[in-house]
């Protein structure tokens, strides 16, 4: 007999998996097109559709949902007044997806008592399904063990980016401390890459919580060093990884 908490966790996991699978169906049949461009931010015809698919799939949980497609006021109310909530990013790396640069994801995280409990990153172009759950990491339903050694920054690869909110007049990321720097235009995959050993540190300013929360969860399970991250803040400066 499952306890109530275990049963609820399993139900929520099933809802999250169902949400991603429904997104995959849409992505397979609906080609991306530009809907609008506001400043540096590109919105596709798929963003709102994927967002609705995920929300419709998760609403049975009766847990509030934080999403890029909601207003800042709505999101801030949830994050300040609730300890448990979903955070969704229907399409991270929209421009990559439009231009067929193979680095885009659908990501979903469940926060319970201000701690991540479930995170999914679906890597669209590779059709890879990553799950962080119960302190385990799974790739396409198989557990994978990630062992990261801590290294010196001078030997490390920094993953970073320049989000549309980036302040180019006040650049403070010290790239010269690292051996190499990589920018791929998809924060969730940059963070996942840290957990997988492709990169060694992730640092990005003015990045939104929905872009980074799932990747943060994977690295948390992997016992990374966290220098900067706040789970109750929408606009983030994130700095974490495996450098000393």
Query: Are both 85 and 131 inside the same structural domain?
Result: yes
Query: Are both 25 and 45 inside the same structural domain?
Result: yes
- Give the Cα separation of 214 and 85 in Å (integer): 13
Q: Which of 105, 125, 143 is the last residue of a domain?
A: 143
Whether 115 has a pLDDT exceeding 50, the answer reads yes
Query: Are both 201 and 183 inside the same structural domain?
Result: yes
Burial of 190 (0-12, 13-18, 19+ CB in 10 A): buried
Q: What is the CATH number of the domain that holds 22?
A: 3.30.540.10
pLDDT of 2 reads 45
- Give the Cα separation of 175 and 152 in Å (integer): 14
pLDDT of 185 reads 95
- Give the Cα separation of 206 and 212 in Å (integer): 11
Boundaries of domain holding 33: 4-143
Burial of 90 (0-12, 13-18, 19+ CB in 10 A): buried
Tell me which of 43-57, 93-107, 152-166, 199-213 is least confident.
152-166
pLDDT of 146 reads 86
Average pLDDT estimate for 103-114 = 97
Strand (E) or helix (H) holding 205 = strand 201-208
Average pLDDT estimate for 205-212 = 95
Q: 108 forms bridges with which residues in the sheet?
A: 88, 120
pLDDT tens-digit map of 173-194? 677 889 999 999 999 999 999 9
Query: Are both 115 and 213 inside the same structural domain?
Result: no
Query: Are both 76 and 175 inside the same structural domain?
Result: no
Query: Are both 34 and 14 inside the same structural domain?
Result: yes
pLDDT of 181 reads 94
Query: Are both 211 and 237 inside the same structural domain?
Result: yes
Q: What is the CATH number of the domain that holds 206?
A: 3.40.190.80
Q: Is residue 60 part of a domain?
A: yes
Q: Which of 143, 175, 202 is the last residue of a domain?
A: 143
- Write the DSSP assignment of 36-96 as a string of letters: EEETTEEEEHHHHHHHHHHHHHHGGG---EEETTS-HHHHHHHHHH-S-EEEEEEEESHHH
User: Do the Cβ atoms of 76 and 234 come closer than 8 Å?
Assistant: yes
Using 50, 70 and 90 to split pLDDT, how confident is the model at 69?
confident
Query: Are both 8 and 129 inside the same structural domain?
Result: yes
Q: Is residue 227 part of a domain?
A: yes
pLDDT tens-digit map of 78-99? 999 999 999 999 999 999 999 9
Q: Which of 114, 143, 172 is the last residue of a domain?
A: 143
CA 144 to chain centre: 19
Whether 1 has a pLDDT exceeding 50, the answer reads no
Using 50, 70 and 90 to split pLDDT, how confident is the model at 77?
very high
Phi-psi domain of 239 (left: phi exceeds 0; alpha: psi -120 through 50; beta: other)? beta
Query: Are both 139 and 179 inside the same structural domain?
Result: no
Query: Are both 99 and 220 inside the same structural domain?
Result: no
Q: Is residue 160 part of a domain?
A: yes
Q: Is residue 87 part of a domain?
A: yes
Pairing of strands 136-139, 128-133: antiparallel
Query: Are both 69 and 11 inside the same structural domain?
Result: yes
User: Do the Cβ atoms of 58 and 109 come closer than 8 Å?
Assistant: no
Average pLDDT estimate for 196-204 = 97
3-state secondary structure of 142: strand
Whether 140 has a pLDDT exceeding 90, the answer reads yes
Q: Is residue 30 part of a domain?
A: yes
Q: Is residue 148 part of a domain?
A: no
Whether 41 has a pLDDT exceeding 90, the answer reads no
Structural domain count of the chain = 2
Query: Are both 63 and 160 inside the same structural domain?
Result: no
């Amino acid at each position: 007999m499952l306890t109530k908490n275990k049963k609820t966790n399993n139900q929520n996991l099933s809802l999250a998996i169902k949400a991603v699978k429904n997104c995959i169906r849409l992505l397979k049949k609906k080609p991306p097109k530009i809907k609008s461009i506001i400043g540096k931010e590109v919105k596709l015809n798929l963003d709102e559709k994927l967002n609705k698919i995920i929300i419709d799939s998760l609403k049975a949980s009766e847990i509030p949902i934080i999403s890029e497609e909601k207003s800042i006021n709505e999101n801030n109310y949830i994050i300040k007044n609730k300890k448990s909530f979903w955070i969704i990013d229907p399409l991270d790396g929209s421009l990559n997806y439009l231009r067929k640069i193979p680095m885009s994801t659908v990501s979903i995280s469940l926060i319970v008592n201000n701690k991540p409990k479930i995170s999914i990153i679906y890597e669209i172009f590779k059709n890879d399904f990553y799950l962080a759950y119960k302190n385990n990491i799974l790739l396409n339903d198989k557990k994978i063990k990630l062992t990261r050694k801590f290294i010196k920054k001078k030997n490390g690869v920094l993953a970073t980016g320049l989000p549309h909110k980036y302040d180019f007049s006040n650049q403070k990321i010290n790239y010269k401390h690292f051996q190499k720097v990589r920018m791929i235009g998809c924060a969730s995959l940059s963070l996942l890459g840290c957990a997988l050993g492709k990169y060694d540190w992730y640092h990005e300013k003015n990045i939104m919580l929905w872009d980074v929360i799932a990747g943060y969860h994977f690295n948390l399970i992997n016992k990374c060093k966290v220098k900067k991250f706040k789970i109750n803040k929408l606009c983030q400066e994130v700095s974490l990884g495996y450098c000393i």
